Structure 1
Amino acid sequence: MAGSWLTSTATCTAYRAVCGGTPDAPGVRVPVAGRVFAERVGWLADLVRGMADQVIAAHWSDADLALLAAGVGVDGRRLPASGWMALRRLGWGAVAAAGVVVSDRVRRIAEEEAARALRLGCHRHAVVAALLATWPADPFARTDGEWSALRAALPEGCDTATIRNRTRQIAGYLGVHGRLPADVCELEGPPVVARQVSLAAADRQQVVVDRVDDRMVRVCSQLPTCAGPVSYRDWVWHAFDVVLPVIVPAGVKVCTPTVRPRDGRVRVDLPWRAPHTPPPVDGHTRGLGVDWGVNTLLTATVADLEGGSVVVDGRPLRFDATGVSAKLVRLRRHRERLRTKADHLTRLRDGRPADAPADSALAGKLACLEAEHAAVCARIRHLNHAVAWSAARWLVDHATAAGATVVYVENLATLEAGGRSRSLNRRLSGAVRGAVFTAVAHLAAKAGIAVVTVPARGTSSGCPRCGAAVTHVKAPDRCVAGYRWATCSCGLSLDRDHAAAQRIAARGLANQTKTRRDRSGQAAIRTATDTPVRRRARRPTPAVTTRPVRNRRKTAPTPKQTRPATAKTSRLLPSRRQVPAPTEPPPGTGGKRPAGRTPQETNPPGPVRQVPHTASTTTAPRHPHRVRRATLGRGFHRHVHATPITNRDGGTGTMSASLRIT
């Protein structure tokens, strides 16, 4: 989100292309098959990655990273925002290999990829420098003073996960070499750019994007016809059409894409922009408080600000992904087993004598394990992505249906949990909170809903009504130490995540005047005071009309019972009085069979399967378990159970077609 525009990215696929001519003068067009087209895009990606890796390796040093991070060139002028222009201002231009001819626009694309990697390296350089400057005697048990000194030296926006990971990396280097590294360049090698082509860094001499109609975009770009072009005649214009998904509205502005060759196809990341006005961060009267969980991924509640106090309706909204979490745990265990086997085979292969012949069986097993490991990793990534966007879609739809104008989420970036078990830490490390927050922020911006983070300290340990410390038990009827239920001396007895969601909503609504936006546009409340939450009074239930008491005294004749016209009967079997008995038995039968199972012959003629007495011969066959309503917004997976979306009037809501994820 930048300025008054909201940028989204639609991932499409280009299956074929045509080459020849130019965008202004098409000339004779020759069709290009999908495999050939993907191969030529791969050649361009390899040329770009080779030049970018050379630039990164040549300037992966402490002095060059410090110069790039300063933002001022050698001539004293401020470096441009564009990466390729900043590198050329510093004199770090990309150079093609000997004998290879590339245009200036291709070098510009390589310089842009190198600049992005080096600027990310500048952030890692600042984090590692702060850790080395304040390295304590025990890095895993810092005191309050050591934490204060570290926080003051770290760059802005550094979260606890980054601190923990970099601390472990430095401690590992210290254990191997017996000394601390000098900087990040000694701690790790230069990064490697991805195999992709960012066409946005070029101009119309390299790429042209035209909108054919509301559902199709035509992209023209120069591609090499061989792996090592030796002249400009080896570069030919290729045009390919991209069909836009249904989530892209008609008439929006389409930007220059990024192409990625993959599995014989060309993936196209096509950005599109729509006008957007950032929603206000204060002045809200109804909001949604959201609490993170391990199995119950999201627990939310609707809260209103009435006369300076926060009022909740007491209805919890849950997105329970327990089944998917169990599936992810199994996939991670399988991935670890595959990685262990592959590492063992790699050690066996590398430990063979140099003059020994290659073991084809060992190489085949290793290749098979690597392929299966890559497939499992892809499955985990896709499942995490589906969970994150499904949960975000569900949350934004609930906020829209409830009429909430803001969503308050606890900020777990600076909260460190210690003393947990190894299995719980592994499950927490595999959580998709960052992806969920990004998806919620993006979808909420489309719906005109603000997303604000609040401090997470004490949201689960305090009572939303009185603010005192709560006691966590297993269940309301099992007062033993547990996790699931929260009780308080004031009479609170509530689900732990639901109570935390109420506390988060109260912090956001009561302290919304303290909301500030950072440089990236993310709204956050840094410091907050807790406000008691009051539950809304229940609506009085209408009086139930009672039936008159039957007179069972025997002093008078029993009155005749009148049966209503529409008698209530079972949906399974008709009433015996409604279905008259047949006057005579069906032909071919000797009368009614007595009660009991179907009689079976003792010696049937031929291989006849005997029906067991436990199997019913009159009911319909049983079907396997199928969870209904496994649709988007209520759960994309059959083992995801979410609270149905209801409108403010109580009716079941539906998602907007423009915001639906396909």
Structure 2
Amino acid sequence: MPVTRRLLAERAEHLTALVQRAATELLARLWTDANLDVLAAGVDATDRKLPSKGWMALRRLGWTVTAAPGVRLPDRVARIAEEEAARALRLSLHRRAVTAAIISTWPADPRKRTAEEWVLLRACLPAGTDRATIRNRTRQVIAFASGHGRLPSGFTELETPPRIAGQVLLAAADRQLVRLQRTGERAAQLWVQLPVMADPASYRDWTWHDITVPLPPTVSEQAALCTPTLRVRDGSVRVDLPFQTPMVPAPLTGHRRAIGADWGYNTLLTAVIAEPGPDDTVISYGRPLRFDATGISRKLDRLRLHREHLKTRISHLQKLAAGRGPAGLDPATKSKLELLDIEHAHVCARIRHLGHTLAWAGARWLIDQAHTAGATVVYLEDLTTMEAPGSSRAWNRRLSGATRGILADAVRHLGAKEHITVVTVPARGTSSGCPRCGQTLRHVKAPDNHKPANPWALCSCGHSADRDFSAALRIAARGIAGQQHTARNRAGEAGIRTTVDVPVHRRLAATPRPASPPRPCRDKHRPTPPRPRRRKAPGRVPGFTPAAHATAGSRPAPSGAVQRPAGRTPQNLTVQVPGPAAHTFSSNPLQARHRVRGAVLGRGFHHHVTSTPLLQRRGPRSGETPGSHRTAQKN
């Protein structure tokens, strides 16, 4: 029989709670250094290699889930809980190896290691460990040592067991618990067993549920659907449905045209097109490509300030409730606290949604620019290797709330679909070094105003450009010159760790113009087409001036038989109306609401986002997905 959405979400929440409780209990029981040593060895008691599936590896080692008394937990649900615990344990192995290397080579001054101490640490660290991970783990050990007066004896003493997410990995089960079938081009059918109560006592408390899953347009007909993951959010069941599409991975080297993009706070992305030049140089077209999100950044700042104000009031009321003891707050104050919690949740959701949409819009624009220019690689700076010391708390809050992490993942995702490689380069020195000669730049307010600031970059060699544009040139040069050092990390993300700086020269060529529709014909061989009449501003009455509006109540109503006296119509700017109270009326007419035109702003997802329009390209590029882009802008 059909069930309501509320009942379906309630039963899915029961399954999520069972899995989360069982996985948390198993992880807490296995969180010891001895068990991590056994799992890191990769073999069981009979020296057989452990399976790749987490739940099978744990069962090979004899680590299984124990159900609570009186609760009937099916074997497939136990598999899901064991898979969650196994993934958490395997993810902790890398952090454990890094922590062990840092503790074994603990320096005299952990905040500033010497060259010899760095060499010794690098020899003990796992391959592919970046400086951000070393910095974070070192701070973790310093915090433990300052609180306990000694170094931690092991990784499990330094860290507590990680929290298990509220989700159900149906991929660890089989057809006895979940089934999935595609029923059309835009729909799929999911059958899953859910408990009808929070603590099912027998198998009769589990029943099948039929869920219709709509498929977005991004899932093609050739895509193979995989077993999804269930989660409950905001009182509804969410289905994370992965799918597989056969694709050829993009090459890491051999690129002849690239786009280098620099992050910014107001200008979210500033990019430039570059190519390899003669004698180990890089040639740039000199045309900046910008995705300006100043308006959205200001909106995010206002939302963050509002969120912090709400959080401050919530914390104040919570402290009052804690100080009153068992009595608690009065009903009026308690209802106020509930309203503040609801408003805080709404503001947080708004910030997440706006940041997520902005990140994907910027990624789509960048891949479109690469697709239109014929570039086969996009180079981004890796900000995880840097940390800005001495910044204010407000500036750090703005940077932490930025959407760069989501944008980088979105660029990689869209680039893989369009056969465009996305590579990160070292970020240190990209904004401070000159792309022509490599010397240190001088950052000023403007080309004609040499007051120290951030917008403009000057160099003694004659280089004068926008700071973000100058950094984009240097990023593109590092990527093109060091593409032979490109490698993938543990997550499969391509990156260059070796810094190779070469001079960048500008190609003296005509700047291409955006594609635009043909200009209208203005000859007189045909009748002039009618033009739309200009709308009148609201509040304006024909035949009445602002002064007439002000004094209309003190003069007789006009009629057709009465003629206006000779002389000019009064045009005084302000008129004082006689009476007990004097009111000043402005002569400015009421203005209509400001509307931003798309031709001025370019192509963007929001009316306060400006972006460089796309250029028209003659032919398709090899390896691209046909029909996936509009390669010309239509204003």
TM superposition score category, shorter chain reference: 0.7 to 0.9
Q: Which residue of 2 aligns with 1:41?
A: 12
Q: Which residue of 1 aligns with 2:299?
A: 327
Does 2:44 correspond to 1:70?
no
Shift of 1:593: 7.4
CA distance in 1, matches of 2:511, 2:204: 83
Q: Which moved more, 1:50-59 or 1:223-232?
A: 223-232
Shift of 1:493: 0.7
1:645 to 594, 614, 629: 614
Q: Which residue of 2 aligns with 1:615?
A: 588
What is the RMSD of the two structures over their aligned residues, measured on CA atoms?
3.6
Amino acid corresponding to residue 214 of structure 1 in structure 2: E
Q: Which residue of 2 aligns with 1:634?
A: 603
| Superposed counterparts of 1:9-408, under 5 Å | 30-307=1-278, 309-351=281-323, 356-361=326-331, 367-408=338-379
Does 2:424 correspond to 1:450?
no
For the structure 1 residues 346 and 117, does the alpha-carbon distance in structure 2 shift closer, same or farther, using more than 3 Å as the test?
A: farther
Cα shift readout 1:111-160 (whole Å, capped 9, x = no counterpart): 11111222222233233333333334443344444444444433344444
SS class of match (2:2): strand
For the structure 1 residues 384 and 64, does the alpha-carbon distance in structure 2 shift closer, same or farther, using more than 3 Å as the test?
A: farther
Q: Which residue of 1 aligns with 2:412?
A: 441
Cα shift readout 1:82-101 (whole Å, capped 9, x = no counterpart): 11111111111112211111
Q: Which moved more, 1:622-631 or 1:54-63?
A: 622-631
CA distance in 1, matches of 2:341, 2:430: 43
Cα shift readout 1:435-483 (whole Å, capped 9, x = no counterpart): 2111101101111111122222322222222223322211101112222
For the structure 1 residues 173 and 282, does the alpha-carbon distance in structure 2 shift closer, same or farther, using more than 3 Å as the test?
A: closer
CA distance in 1, matches of 2:569, 2:455: 51
CA distance in 2, matches of 1:47, 1:596: 82
SS class of match (1:51): helix
CA distance in 2, matches of 1:520, 1:241: 33
For the structure 1 residues 357 and 463, does the alpha-carbon distance in structure 2 shift closer, same or farther, using more than 3 Å as the test?
A: closer
Q: Which moved more, 1:527-536 or 1:329-338?
A: 329-338
Shift of 1:320: 1.9
Q: Which moved more, 1:57-66 or 1:358-367?
A: 358-367
Q: Which residue of 2 aligns with 1:594?
A: 568
SS class of match (1:139): coil
Shift of 1:221: 0.8
CA distance in 2, matches of 1:381, 1:632: 24
Q: Which residue of 1 aligns with 2:545?
A: none
Give me the TM-score of the superposition, normalised by structure 2. Answer: 0.83
For the structure 1 residues 360 and 257, does the alpha-carbon distance in structure 2 shift closer, same or farther, using more than 3 Å as the test?
A: farther
Q: Confirm or deny: 8 A CA contact 1:247 1:658 kept in the other structure.
A: no
CA distance in 2, matches of 1:88, 1:648: 57
Q: Which moved more, 1:169-178 or 1:591-600?
A: 591-600
Shift of 1:538: 3.3
Amino acid corresponding to residue 470 of structure 1 in structure 2: L
Amino acid corresponding to residue 281 of structure 1 in structure 2: L
CA distance in 2, matches of 1:31, 1:76: 51
CA distance in 2, matches of 1:150, 1:382: 41
Q: Confirm or deny: 8 A CA contact 1:310 1:509 kept in the other structure.
A: yes
Amino acid corresponding to residue 285 of structure 1 in structure 2: R
SS class of match (1:452): strand
Q: Which residue of 2 aligns with 1:27?
A: none
Q: Confirm or deny: 8 A CA contact 1:454 1:508 kept in the other structure.
A: yes
Amino acid corresponding to residue 376 of structure 1 in structure 2: V
Q: Which moved more, 1:494-503 or 1:69-78?
A: 69-78
CA distance in 1, matches of 2:626, 2:361: 14
For the structure 1 residues 86 and 630, does the alpha-carbon distance in structure 2 shift closer, same or farther, using more than 3 Å as the test?
A: farther
Shift of 1:248: 1.8
Q: Confirm or deny: 8 A CA contact 1:101 1:230 kept in the other structure.
A: yes
Shift of 1:347: 4.6
Amino acid corresponding to residue 38 of structure 1 in structure 2: A
Shift of 1:220: 0.5
Shift of 1:534: 1.6
SS class of match (1:300): strand
Shift of 1:599: 12
Shift of 1:540: 10
Shift of 1:382: 2.3
Amino acid corresponding to residue 210 of structure 1 in structure 2: Q
CA distance in 2, matches of 1:642, 1:539: 21
Cα shift readout 1:493-521 (whole Å, capped 9, x = no counterpart): 11111111112112222332332334543
Shift of 1:290: 0.9
CA distance in 2, matches of 1:632, 1:274: 35
For the structure 1 residues 357 and 412, does the alpha-carbon distance in structure 2 shift closer, same or farther, using more than 3 Å as the test?
A: closer
CA distance in 1, matches of 2:173, 2:188: 18
For the structure 1 residues 437 and 227, does the alpha-carbon distance in structure 2 shift closer, same or farther, using more than 3 Å as the test?
A: same
Cα shift readout 1:534-593 (whole Å, capped 9, x = no counterpart): 21113499xxxxxxxxxxxxxxxxxxxxxx9999xx9999xxxxxxxxxxxx97674797
Q: Confirm or deny: 8 A CA contact 1:100 1:229 kept in the other structure.
A: yes
Shift of 1:307: 4.5
CA distance in 1, matches of 2:198, 2:249: 46
Q: Confirm or deny: 8 A CA contact 1:465 1:534 kept in the other structure.
A: yes
- Residue identity over aligned pairs, in percent, reads 54
2:438 to 447, 462, 467: 467
CA distance in 2, matches of 1:530, 1:237: 61
Q: Which runs of 5+ in 2 are unaligned?
A: 513-523, 535-558, 620-624, 631-635
Q: Which residue of 2 aligns with 1:4?
A: none
Amino acid corresponding to residue 302 of structure 2 in structure 1: R
SS class of match (1:635): coil
| Superposed counterparts of 1:408-423, under 5 Å | 408-423=379-394
Q: Which runs of 5+ in 1 are unaligned?
A: 1-29, 542-563, 574-585
CA distance in 2, matches of 1:186, 1:143: 28
Shift of 1:341: 4.5
Shift of 1:374: 3.6
1:624 to 593, 612, 617: 593
Q: Confirm or deny: 8 A CA contact 1:630 1:637 kept in the other structure.
A: no
CA distance in 2, matches of 1:166, 1:365: 41
Shift of 1:181: 3.0
SS class of match (1:217): strand
Does 2:406 correspond to 1:432?
no
